Structure 1
Amino acid sequence: MTTVRRPAGATVAPARPAAGGRLRRTAHDVWRYRWIYALIAPTIIYFVIFAYLPMIGLQIAFKDYRVFRGMWEGPWVGFEHFQTMFGSEKFPQLIQNTLLISFYRIIFGFPVPIIFALLLNEVRRMWFKRSIQTVTYFPHFLSWVVFAGIVVNILGPTGMVNTLLVGAGDDRINFLTNPDTFRSVVVITGVMKEFGWGAIIYLAALSGIDQQLYEAARVDGAGKLRQIWHVTLPGLRPVMAVLLVLSLGSMLDAGFDQIFQLQNGAVLEVGDIIDTYVYRVGLLDAQFELATAVGMFKGVVGLVMIVTANYVLRRMGQRSIW
């Protein structure tokens, strides 16, 4: 019998486990960590039921849908509804309004929670710090129905601001019915409602920064601003990058709840966004196919933007979502 000798120092690649062995190992790991899987099971079930199963209805965008015939019986019409969407005279204005409002929110709203978290982190009186934090993130728990009512009572024609203006001898300013001021009101009120809640994430990230870095900076003679610039902001950069990617992914989601509550006929030219258009076309006019096509278009664009932003961050060496 002839024997084959391996050269000295040669290694033998480990044999791949059989399919049955991999399945048994996977089953063993699932059973070993069964309580962890039990904890995440409700979340998985929630997303499967309310996020993935409804995607079956996307086929309505490619069919001649009739309510009484059902979703499966409608004939296929291809991209007819998408052609109607792109050929609509209102569609460019909807895209412009949605992108402008989302862009203003990112430009003016993204830095506010960061600045607020930096200021709040310097407060040494814990009772004062907790009080301010509670007051600022409480509006997050209010629905836009309630918060919009507060905005109307403050900025409406007979609201607090106009009452003071009239008392001072000035004219009333129609903040909510003036196309020149409506977008500013939407952006400012949106930031006021959410900046306290957004600051919680940055405060949690600030607590994870090594305090020895601040001590080393003080030894080198760095003042408070230098410490923030060279220690604090670099420590917040990964969190900022991830939240920026998520913000870019929702560029076409300009906030239906808020704009629907504040919108009126006088500001449709500057305040009508994709979501309010889908509401009118889909629910009020019963054009479910067109509404589904518009919603699908918005989802695809959001997916492309979040993947692109995540890829750019990875190329820049920053922490990304995946």
Structure 2
Amino acid sequence: MEQSYAMPKRQTRMRRNLDYIRKNQFLYWLIAPAFILTVIFKYVPMYGVIIAFKDFSYNKGIMGSEWVGFKYFEKFLTAPNFELIFMNTLKLSLYGLILGFPVPIILALMLNQLRRAGAKKNIQLALYAPNFISVVVVVGMIFIFLSPVGPINKLIEYFTGHPINFMSDPAYFRSVYILSGIWQAAGWSSIIYVAALAGVDPELHNAATIDGANLLQRIRHIDLPTIKPVMAIVFILAAGGIMSIGFEKAFLMQTALNLPTSEILPTYVYKVGLKSGDYSYSAAIGLFNSVINVIMLVVVNFVVKKLNEGEGLY
């Protein structure tokens, strides 16, 4: 009896789902291209992850290569430079997250206070423009401005008497990388917060002003609670990709002298995989990096949900 009751119930649910899909078929057709592209370019290439567990050979192919298990993971975890590369990657990501996460929020709150539309548009244009500059151009600008004969060093030399070789001293690499990244991305990242603040009812600010609330109090009790869910999602996504630093900028900023702080997992994978041809080893390092990101995503989402009354990414 229970089985006969469950079957009609399951069929009814299936029929209801099919009716819903048929009714909203145009929405499904609209999302179909994005879904297909995601499967092709995100999920199908995951087949290549098998290389990390094999001694890959061009002649034998992926499936024909010898299975070696966790050999290359053990090789990387016991490598003399593992701690250096891992800590360089972690520090660069962590410092970038801590210093860079609040800046777009502050910019959005400041832009939200501007009442003159013309001035607001001009300031937004100036803030968003760096995002559209190529990474190669940004790194070129960094080398020009921070060179021993560049304008910044001219100013330093005027006050101290001697220039600083920023791009050759490992101690300055992280600061230059992070600050230039904030300058380039903060304005563009503030768009999502500006959009969220646009939904705040002006009557709330008017009522708070009448009650005697100052600017900081209105921001704290009206604006920040409005963008709190957005802040949580952005933070979770940023923390989930904490080990996924952009390869191009770090590689372009590398010099022979700043390698102790500029050698990170993406640049090391490039050198091991493409330059040395050790594809299995580089695939193992890349997979290790991805696993760390997934763990961070799950942990941070769990913590944020606990602290944010159940509001998280999923």
Q: What range describes the TM-score normalised by the shorter chain of this pair?
A: over 0.9
Identify which of 60, 80, 92 aligns with 2:83.
92
* CA RMSD in angstroms, aligned pairs only: 1.8
- Aligned 1:118-129 pairs, distance under 5 A: 118-129=109-120
Aligned counterparts of 2:226 and 2:186: Cα–Cα separation in 1: 20
Identify which of 129, 134, 159 aligns with 1:138.
129
Whether the aligned pair in 2 keeps the contact of 1:179 and 1:267 (CA below 8 Å) is yes
Residue 287 (str. 1) matches residue 278 (str. 2): yes
Q: What residue is the counterpart of 1:81 in the other structure?
A: 72
> Residue by residue, what CA displacement relative to the aligned partner does 1:173-229 show, whole Å, maximum 9, x if unpaired?
111111111110001001000000111011011112233322332232101111111
Q: What residue is the counterpart of 1:70 in the other structure?
A: 61
Whether the aligned pair in 2 keeps the contact of 1:245 and 1:310 (CA below 8 Å) is yes
Q: What residue is the counterpart of 2:255 in the other structure?
A: 264
Whether the aligned pair in 2 keeps the contact of 1:94 and 1:273 (CA below 8 Å) is yes
Per-residue deviation, 1:152: 1.4
Q: What residue is the counterpart of 2:311 in the other structure?
A: 319
Aligned counterparts of 1:158 and 1:31: Cα–Cα separation in 2: 68
Report the more deviating stretch, 183-192 or 21-30. 21-30
What amino acid is aligned across from residue 285 of structure 1 in structure 2? S
Q: Which runs of 5+ in 1 are unaligned?
A: 1-13
Whether the aligned pair in 2 keeps the contact of 1:139 and 1:193 (CA below 8 Å) is yes
Aligned counterparts of 2:247 and 2:63: Cα–Cα separation in 1: 29
Per-residue deviation, 1:21: 4.7
Aligned counterparts of 1:319 and 1:117: Cα–Cα separation in 2: 22
TM-score between both structures, scaled by the size of structure 2: 0.93
Larger Rg: 1
> Residue by residue, what CA displacement relative to the aligned partner does 1:220-248 show, whole Å, maximum 9, x if unpaired?
21011111111111212111111111111
- Aligned 1:71-220 pairs, distance under 5 A: 71-166=62-157, 170-220=161-211
SS in 2 for 1:251: coil
SS in 2 for 1:17: helix
Report the more deviating stretch, 148-157 or 259-268. 148-157
Whether the aligned pair in 2 keeps the contact of 1:241 and 1:318 (CA below 8 Å) is no
Aligned counterparts of 2:9 and 2:219: Cα–Cα separation in 1: 55
Aligned counterparts of 2:22 and 2:55: Cα–Cα separation in 1: 47
Whether the aligned pair in 2 keeps the contact of 1:63 and 1:77 (CA below 8 Å) is yes
TM-score between both structures, scaled by the size of structure 1: 0.91
Per-residue deviation, 1:162: 2.3
Per-residue deviation, 1:53: 0.6
Whether the aligned pair in 2 keeps the contact of 1:64 and 1:289 (CA below 8 Å) is yes
Q: What residue is the counterpart of 2:299 in the other structure?
A: 308
Whether the aligned pair in 2 keeps the contact of 1:238 and 1:318 (CA below 8 Å) is no
Q: Structure 2 vs 1, CA of residues 165 and 33 (structure 1 numbering), >3 Å: closer, same or farther?
A: same
Per-residue deviation, 1:131: 1.1
> Residue by residue, what CA displacement relative to the aligned partner does 1:284-310 show, whole Å, maximum 9, x if unpaired?
011111111111111111111111111
Aligned counterparts of 1:173 and 1:17: Cα–Cα separation in 2: 77
Per-residue deviation, 1:160: 2.3
> Residue by residue, what CA displacement relative to the aligned partner does 1:261-281 show, whole Å, maximum 9, x if unpaired?
111111110111111100100
How many residues get paired? 309
What amino acid is aligned across from residue 301 of structure 1 in structure 2? I
Q: Which runs of 5+ in 2 are unaligned?
A: none
SS in 2 for 1:65: strand
Aligned counterparts of 2:149 and 2:258: Cα–Cα separation in 1: 18
What amino acid is aligned across from residue 161 of structure 1 in structure 2? I
Aligned counterparts of 2:134 and 2:10: Cα–Cα separation in 1: 52
Aligned counterparts of 1:17 and 1:256: Cα–Cα separation in 2: 55
Residue 229 (str. 1) matches residue 220 (str. 2): yes
